[in-house]
Chains A and B, each alone.
Chain A
């Protein structure tokens, strides 16, 4: 806990009964705030409920709690597995608990929570709330019976607190809170404390390799083109559409927010543009994160899966992306006279000399017989390494050196003292995948990592080719030009030749792949030796051959050698590359330039010695663990820069002022990585400035006792009187006539409709329903579908099935099609209607549904609130529904289903859905399968006989087994 943390808590605790909303910069240790609040809690105050934080946040909180007091019990979790009575006793016990909003709201509605015993609620993710979200529902119900319970909400994502109109204010009102506390990084206390004794920072800018820079430029060009297209549609506000914004995930949100109200009226092209931009953003990210081969592989899969839809894939610059990505991995050299320079090259450069040559030339000549103009083509590996790898290794060497020096220094000066603390080196990168890669790079060698990836790539290439020839036969129209295939729409004459070459290229690729396959197949013992030899020699060769071209891309910060090779497009001029030793020297010298801060002489031998090297630890930022606190590293290498992580480092340093800490930042120079990092800081500051403005203008209505009156006071008294029979009502209000009831399926508490219905004064009875989502009366059963749900459940056949059962059990089965308030009220754009009746159109599907179920009624609702209105009207002359009856409807087996059992919690729903989509699995046998085997992984291993037993038939069992084992990709 730092001083500003204490300050935050003191400010917050002063507001006793209304609580407050705390927004702080990301990375300023929200977990330690919450854990201190939990520590401050004493059972005498009543029960403290913590609305389920995200998993990493939770583990972080638990870790901190354990650290500060290892003997204490961590807060228990209230789950649906606990029987109702024991939940009740937990709620009244006075402890602190984790609970999910869904369970809490259901328990509140069923009066299982003794509200007077509840001291307050902590909401750790205020930015994700809206007026209609379940958390708001909870607070409203709670406040209606216990006005003194406090609500404390937190958020460390300020930028999402400013999206939409006065979001912070609206959230505060719906949580009944008065006070907003803002704690940006630039706040005075925070600044002072974090900058008192900052860690030593070394900022290293690594230049992108030439091809990487080329790809980046091309991607940005394509993005720019897409954005221009988007502007042309005149559907979006141009202001926000910049490439810089395009780098962020939230760009999608900006676009979606603008387009959502008219989304259904948009043409295919605009929608495609939106998703293309998303893909491109991912590509930019992967460019700096993935190695060359994985990047190419990803591009390949993209091409296979997207090529028939995307617009961008056909753009001029995209061709460059594919071409350059290919060049980072391999290239082709011709062996005939057509390309003179190529000829000499292949003799000097080719690595796969032994068996490679035979198969290569063989297949190549086979190919050339069809197109006699071009000769054989040989595959040459390039396998460009990521520039940062090299730098990382150099840093590690440097760290080691320093360590040694320090030890020496200590010995010389006879400093006994304690050992330098731990001395762990932490490498932080974005995801687990990069972690594994980097680890391999350090423990093995980068070349080896690249080689492994390359071999995997070649193998998968063979399979992909097979897939394509089998499946992409039909779409061989002009659209099918794969950019990667190198088929550029040029003049027809050239085109023919190009495709000829292209064919040869593929054959060369395939030959290389099959060679690797053969190598792998060959039995180990005796061949192993030979294999090693070949590989060894290949590697040696590669290093040399990599020189001419590799040098111009691989080594960071080349200064003097660059002029020599500045014409890599003509490989002939590059022939006189520097020798091995020279190269090594230059690169290590380069690093020294980069790491100028240390006047250490570069170690000539490059590879580091193992003894005494500091313990290395790799950490994925995505996994979001309290890693710094656990490892207590003395050196942190930030491989992928991230704002939140930087703050965490600062907080760590400030709370451990005695520890030495050195931080290395690795940026790619002039890359989107840097831009993105800087923009993220700017964006957060901007968000805080806007929040500060909002705070100064905020109006929160308060009643005479100083309690917050909430969002829409006119509705409140009514709602609260309906919740439980409260007798405190002043003013002799008329007895409300019999309260309307609606039975709601548990799963529906994910949506906001129950909240809105409750707001309108209905009594909500949560139960688990097998048929329908809402039961309005003994006759009326409603299945609710939002627009997206409607489309997807038509496609999966779920809707048909659901309507079928509703029709079976209820007299008035209703399909509720719910549009969203902030989106357009229409089904589709007029351009989607088309000239003919087509089976794929949503109107056709709906018509078919109506024809097959003439008794089905349809409600078209403009919004949540309109739905509530309609429900009210429909219930007017109907009896109240019976919950026990409703629950029994459609439940297959009478025994085994226990009352009050939260069904959805008891099933792994995505696994069940997955199972039901497998061939051979039907509505009638899936339950038996679930009874007979535990999980999908287990199912995957069952033999046919056992499957036949479970599925009640040989045929179905064979269908399933065949599908499971089918070699990807083959036809069934």
Chain B
């Protein structure tokens, strides 16, 4: 599958089978071109996608299985892009889920053609992107780090973070504050005071 060189490396390759699929109109952020390929969409060196409309699946229940079998073992990431275009989804989605899962395919559901197109685009664009945006590294400035930590305590919101910060001056002072001091902060009610205090003062490991 790496034989398509040149400019087509940066483009999504589309199988001729997909001709006439209105989904193609929604691939706008990436170039695409028709090619002779087994899968419906070739999204990178070793990732591909099959498109399935649930409505079509209701008519041709075996279709997905045969398409997956055709793919053989050529791809690392095999996406089944499922367009949820029926009202009563539970049964057909169950079948699709089962087929995809037991035949090593990753199921992605989309509720509109636009969404379908966006998934294809994103997978292509992010082909070589590191995972840091989902690894929980947030903004590095003090305020967002502080609220990132403090908002682990249930119901503590950004306003409370500002209140706490400006009242106590530093995180270590907040962590060391007495219940009464916490209760004096406007907007921080009884329950929040308790939650905050417990978080800071209860031992990490409860004593047995």
Query: A: which residues have CB within 8 A of B?
Result: 81, 282, 286, 290, 294-295, 297-298, 301-302, 304-306, 431-433, 436, 460, 463-464, 467, 471, 620, 622-623, 794-801, 812, 814, 825-827, 830, 833, 835-837, 839, 843-852, 854-860, 862-863, 866, 869-870, 873-874, 905-908, 910-915, 917-919, 930, 934-937, 939-941, 963-972
Query: Of the candidates A302, A620, A963, which one forms a contact with B171 in the assembled complex, judged by CB atoms under 8 Å apart?
Result: A963
In the complex, what distance in Å separates the CA atom of A635 from the CA atom of B55?
A: 72
CB under 8 Å from chain A, chain B span 119-164: 119, 121-123, 125-127, 129, 131, 133-138, 140-143, 145-146, 148-150, 152-154, 157-159, 161-163
**In the bound complex, CA of A756 to CA of B172 (Å):** 45
- What are the 5 closest A-B residue pairs judged by CB atoms, nearest first? A797-B136, A854-B77, A968-B165, A940-B175, A940-B172
Cα–Cα distance between A843 and B162 once the two chains are bound (Å): 31
The listed residue (B105, B121, B172, B202) touching A935 by CB distance below 8 A is B202
In the bound complex, what is the Cα–Cα distance between A506 and B100 (angstroms)? 64
Measured CB to CB, the nearest residue on chain A to B88 is A862
Q: Are B77 and A851 neighbours in the complex by a CB distance under 8 Å?
A: yes
Q: CB distance A907 to B169 under 8 Å?
A: no
New A-B contacts (20) at CB < 8 Å, excluding given A305-B158, A305-B159, A431-B183: A81-B206, A305-B157, A431-B189, A467-B166, A801-B135, A801-B136, A812-B101, A825-B84, A843-B115, A851-B129, A854-B76, A857-B106, A866-B93, A906-B208, A908-B206, A914-B150, A934-B204, A940-B200, A965-B171, A966-B171
Q: Which residues of A contact B90 (CB under 8 A)?
A: 862-863, 866, 869
Using a CB–CB cutoff of 8 Å, the interface residues on chain B facing chain A are 28-29, 47, 76-79, 84, 89-90, 93-94, 97-98, 100-102, 104-109, 111-112, 114-115, 118-119, 121-123, 125-127, 129, 131, 133-138, 140-143, 145-146, 148-150, 152-154, 157-159, 161-163, 165-172, 175-176, 180, 183-184, 186-187, 189-190, 193, 195, 198-206, 208
Q: Are A937 and B129 in contact (CB under 8 A)?
A: no
Task: Report Cα–Cα, A912/B198, bound state, in Å.
Answer: 12
Q: Is the CB–CB distance between A858 and B106 below 8 Å?
A: yes
Distance (Å) between the CB of B100 and the closest chain A CB? 7
Residue numbers in B under 8 Å from A471 (CB-CB): 141, 143
The chain B residue sitting closest to A926, CB to CB, is B204
A848 neighbours in B (Cβ, 8 Å): 122, 126, 129, 131, 133-134
Instruction: Determine if A836 and B29 form an interchain contact, defined as CB atoms under 8 angstroms apart.
Output: yes
Kindly list chain B residues whose C-beta atoms are within 8 Å of the C-beta of A795: 136, 138
Contacting pair B166 A857 (CB below 8 A): no
Task: Determine the main DSSP class of A at the interface with B.
Answer: helix
Find chain B residues with CB under 8 A from A941 CB. Answer: 172, 176
Whether A797 touches B135, Cβ cut-off 8 Å, given contacts A911-B199, A917-B152, is yes
User: Contact at B159–A306, with CB atoms within 8 Å?
Assistant: yes
In the complex, the answer to whether A869 meets B94 with C-beta atoms within 8 Å is yes
A910 near B126 with CB under 8 A, answer: no
Partner of A913, one of B145, B152, B170: B152
Contact of A623 with B186 in the complex, beta carbons under 8 Å: no
Cβ B126 vs Cβ A844 within 8 A = yes
Query: Which of A836, A874, A930 is in CB contact (< 8 Å) with B204?
Result: A930
In contact, B136 and A302 (Cβ under 8 angstroms): no
Given A866-B94, A968-B168, A915 and B204 touching (CB < 8 A)? Answer: yes
Contact check: which of A286, A431, A847 meets B123 at CB < 8 Å? A847
B204 close to A833 (CB less than 8 A)? no
A290 in complex: contacting residue of B154, B186, B201, CB < 8 Å: B186
Closest to B127 in A: A851
Min distance, Cβ A968 to any Cβ of chain B, angstroms: 4
Indicate if the CB atoms of A839 and B133 lie closer than 8 Å.
Answer: yes
B79: A residues at CB distance < 8 A: 850
B161 to chain A, nearest CB (A): 8
Contact B206 A873 (CB under 8 A): no
Alpha-carbon separation in the docked complex, A510 to B79 (Å): 60
19 examples of A-B residue contacts, CB within 8 angstroms: A433-B183, A622-B190, A797-B134, A797-B135, A825-B111, A827-B109, A833-B114, A837-B29, A845-B133, A847-B126, A859-B97, A862-B89, A917-B148, A935-B201, A937-B175, A964-B175, A968-B146, A968-B169, A968-B171
Asked if residues A914 and B184 are in contact (CB atoms below 8 Å), the reply is no
Nearest chain B CB to A557 CB, angstrom units: 28
- The answer to whether residues A860 and B109 also contact, given A966-B142, A972-B142 and a CB cut-off of 8 A, is yes
- Bound-state CA distance A301–B206 (Å) is 35
State which of B142, B162, B190, B201 has its C-beta within 8 Å of the C-beta of A305: B162
CB distance from A561 to the nearest CB of B (A): 33
Shortest CB distance B140–A (Å): 7
Contacts of A914 in B (CB 8 A): 149-150, 152-153, 199
A50 CB to closest chain B CB, in angstroms? Answer: 22
Query: CB distance A972 to B205 under 8 Å?
Result: no
For B47, what are the chain A residues with a Cβ–Cβ distance below 8 Å? 851, 854
- Find out whether the CB atom of B140 lies under 8 angstroms from the CB atom of A460: no
Of B28, B135, B165, B202, the residue contacting A908 (CB under 8 A) is: B202
Please tell me if the beta carbons of A849 and B202 are within 8 angstroms of each other in the complex.
no
* Nearest-neighbor residue (CB-CB) of B165 within chain A: A968
Q: Which of these, A282, A298, A799, A918, contacts B149 with CB under 8 Å?
A: A918
Hey, which chain B residues are within 8 Å of A874, CB to CB? 98, 101-102
Kindly list chain B residues whose C-beta atoms are within 8 Å of the C-beta of A801.
Answer: 135-136
Chain B residues with CB under 8 Å of A286's CB are 186-187
**B contact residues around A930 at 8 Å (CB):** 204-205
Q: How far, in whole Å, are A854 and B199 apart by their CA atoms in the complex?
A: 37
CA distance A935 to B154 in the complex (A): 18
- Contact B108 A850, beta carbon cutoff 8 Å: yes
CB atoms of A912 and B204 under 8 A apart: yes
- Chain B residues near A81 (CB-CB < 8 A): 206, 208
**Cα distance A649–B193 when bound, in Å?**
28
Q: Which residues of B contact A800 (CB under 8 A)?
A: 131, 134-136
A304:B111 contact, CB within 8 angstroms:
no
A800 to B131: give the CA distance in the assembly, Å.
9
B190 touches A623 (CB 8 A): yes
The interface centre, meaning the residue of B97, B143, B195, B201 with most chain A CB atoms within 10 A of its CB, is B97
Contact assessment for B100 and A857 in the assembled complex, using a CB-CB cutoff below 8 Å: yes
Contact A850 B77 (CB under 8 A): yes
Inter-chain contacts of A431 with B (CB < 8 A): 183, 189-190
Question: Bound state CA distance, A793 and B201, in angstroms?
Answer: 25
Are A965 and B170 within 8 A (Cβ)? yes
Judge whether A870 and B133 touch: CB under 8 Å.
no
User: Taking A830-B114, A837-B122, A850-B108 as contacts, is the C-beta distance between A935 and B203 under 8 angstroms?
Assistant: yes
A796–B84 alpha-carbon span in the complex (Å): 29
B204 close to A908 (CB less than 8 A): yes
Residues of chain B within 8 A (CB-CB) of A859 are 97, 101, 107
What is the chain A residue whose CB lies nearest that of B107?
A858
Least distance between B76 CB and chain A CB atoms (Å): 5
CB distance from A203 to the nearest CB of B (A): 28
Chain B CB within 10 Å, residue with most, of A467, A835, A917: A917
Residues from chain B with Cβ under 8 Å of A912 in the complex: 204
**In the complex, chain A residues whose CB is within 8 Å of the CB of B184:** 433, 436
List B contacts of A623 (CB < 8 A): 190
A964 partner residues in chain B, CB cutoff 8 A: 170-172, 175
Q: CA separation between A848 and B131, bound complex, in Å?
A: 7
> Least Cβ distance of B199 to chain A in Å?
5
Q: How far is the CA of A906 from the CA of B208 in the complex (A)?
A: 8
Please, how many angstroms separate the alpha-carbon atoms of A906 and B168 in the complex?
30
What is the distance, in angstroms, from A864's C-beta to the closest C-beta of chain B?
12
CB pair A967 B159 closer than 8 Å: no
Closest to B82 in A: A860
The answer to whether B122 and A843 have CB atoms under 8 Å apart is yes
Are A843's CB and B118's CB within 8 A?
yes
> Which of B76, B84, B162 has the most A CB atoms < 10 Å from its CB?
B162
Expressed in whole angstroms, the Cα–Cα distance for A843 and B76 within the complex equals 20
**Complexed CA–CA distance, A432 and B176 (Å):** 20
Known: A463-B166, A917-B149. A825 touches B89 (CB 8 A): yes
User: Bound state CA distance, A71 and B3, in angstroms?
Assistant: 87
In the assembled complex, how far is the CB of residue B166 from the closest CB belonging to chain A, in whole angstroms? 5
CB nearest to A846 among chain B residues: B108
CA distance A368 to B189 in the complex (A): 43
